[in-house]
């Protein structure tokens, strides 16, 4: 009987420790690891602990500055204008989900061969790693042969994570 009591006591202690560890892990926040260049607008890595909801935000394309008309193709502007447009489009979709750029943990930027990477990065830096919004996501930027929208120079997609508290049903 003594062995059974010892075993039961040990099992209770282990269970309590595991519950405490799980609770501590879910209370942890999103961790962002930055590289040696503090001016970089991206994180080297981001980890999301348990207890967060993940949001997958589809790739967004720019809105035309001048719509197609009279047989002429639409004009989407230069890389700077298109990046601003894409980020604005993403922000509008994210607002509907109750998330913001501060919740973005990963981004993929698809660039047309004619896109200016430095111009895109300059606009990017106005939204990520600022005094108003210091969080920087992990990011991959890649050149692609072409985008689905003729005249578009870039497309951006996001993965975001946010701690969502359960609401009580009435």
In a domain, 75, yes or no: yes
Does 93 have pLDDT greater than 80? Answer: yes
34 bridge partner residues: none
Statement: residue 74 has pLDDT above 60: yes
Is residue 36 included in any domain, yes or no? Answer: yes
Domain assignment of residue 24, yes or no: no
pLDDT at 11: 45
Note the pLDDT tens digit of each residue in 136-157: 999 999 999 999 999 999 999 9
pLDDT of residue 167: 62
Q: Is 4 domain-assigned?
A: no
Give me the percent of the chain exceeding a pLDDT of 70.
Answer: 81
The pLDDT score that the predictor gives to residue 169 is: 55
Task: Output the domain CATH number for residue 76.
Answer: 3.30.1330.40
User: Which strands sit side by side in the sheet containing 154-163, from one edge to the other?
Assistant: 52-60, 154-163, 104-111, 138-143
Residue 98 has pLDDT above 90, yes or no: yes
Q: What is the pLDDT of residue 157?
A: 98
In a domain, 13, yes or no: no
4-57 residue pLDDT tens:
454 444 444 444 444 443 333 334 799 999 888 878 888 889 999 999 999 999
The count of domains in the chain is: 1
Q: Which residues pair with 75 in a beta bridge?
A: 66
Is 113 within a domain? yes
Q: Which domain holds residue 129?
A: 29-163
Q: Is 95 left (phi over 0), alpha (psi -120 to 50) or beta?
A: alpha
Q: What is the mean pLDDT of the chain?
A: 85
Counting residues of the chain whose pLDDT is more than 90, the rounded percentage is: 69
- Residue 2 inside a domain? The answer is no
Residues 106-128 have a mean pLDDT of: 97
pLDDT for the residue numbered 18: 40
Give a yes or no: residue 125 inside a domain. yes
């Amino acid at each position: 009987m003594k062995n059974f009591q010892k075993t039961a006591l040990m099992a209770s202690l282990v269970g309590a420790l595991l519950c405490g560890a799980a609770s501590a892990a879910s209370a942890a926040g999103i961790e962002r690891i930055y590289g040696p260049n503090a001016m970089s607008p991206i994180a080297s890595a981001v980890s999301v602990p348990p207890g967060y909801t993940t949001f997958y935000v589809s790739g967004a394309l720019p809105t035309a500055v001048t719509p197609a008309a009279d047989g002429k193709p639409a004009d989407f502007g230069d890389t700077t204008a298109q990046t601003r447009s894409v980020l604005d489009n993403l922000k509008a979709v994210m607002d509907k989900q109750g998330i913001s750029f501060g919740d973005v943990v990963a981004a993929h930027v698809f660039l047309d061969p004619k896109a200016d990477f430095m111009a895109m990065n300059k606009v990017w830096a106005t939204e990520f790693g600022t005094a108003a919004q210091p969080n920087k996501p992990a990011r991959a930027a890649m050149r692609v042969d072409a985008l689905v929208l003729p005249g578009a120079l870039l497309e951006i997609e996001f993965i975001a994570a946010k701690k969502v508290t359960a609401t009580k049903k009435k």
